[in-house]
Structure 1
């Protein structure tokens, strides 16, 4: 029985997830505020890069209406550090060209900016550098 959990862990992806806070935390549910504090996201346009684990995905599900995230490619963290940002969380500028058409209150899958965006997070971060 001990073999199953080990093989299950081995099957999990060990990539990196880039998370950006797009909405402020004034007047939000205390559970959401505590999750933001745990992830060290304390102001708008802050970015962190996390390991892809099940606990991270659970936290991101709670924060779906306030953050956007996706799989970071290998060179993204190097590009962020090369732009002079070394403190975590990385403070980014608002994106050049603006956010998606429906703005900050809709999910990315519906034309907005929030939630899971897959590999499109890389282009967003590069527009924010």
Structure 2
């Protein structure tokens, strides 16, 4: 699974790239989403590479992200009681594990598909260069977990 975070804003962006980011549910800076690793999503990530950063999320980070920043419609927090009543899982951790293993999706569980995060502590490295050159954009593999920890 990939975690995708929007790093740059909305001004001066081409319409087809803006539409691509909207399809990924990344409408604002510091919004994050979790998507499966498929060829169609890989193409979407490459198209938006100048505005987003992404990498492979770990199961522990996904559990923390859902429990701390996951929201239900109406902007309510995700609780163990809600998960027990409305899904086949006993706790938020079990639900996060199922989402990580692609047994279910955020939409099927009744969760909002985005996570609204804070800007990272100590700031982004730079919002105009790729990660390989010392910036914040593009593919960052396992290092996405460190960025998410700074933003939760």
State TM-score, norm by structure 1.
0.83
Aligned pairs, how many?
112
Which consecutive aligned stretches of 4+ in structure 1 deviate over 6 angstroms post-superposition?
none
Q: Distance between the aligned counterparts of 1:127 and 1:45, measured in 2?
A: 11
SS in 2 for 1:93: coil
Residue matched to 1:9: none
2:36 is aligned, of 34, 48, 51, to: 51
Q: Distance between the aligned counterparts of 2:119 and 2:10, measured in 1?
A: 17
Residue 79 (structure 1) shift: 0.4
2:66 is aligned, of 74, 81, 105, to: 81
Task: Give the superposed CA RMSD.
Answer: 1.0
Q: Distance between the aligned counterparts of 1:62 and 1:91, measured in 2?
A: 22
Q: Distance between the aligned counterparts of 1:84 and 1:32, measured in 2?
A: 26
1:106 is aligned, of 129, 136, 140, to: 129
| Cα 1:26/1:54, change in 2 over 3 Å | same
Residue matched to 2:5: 20
What 5-or-longer segments of structure 2 have no aligned partner? 72-111
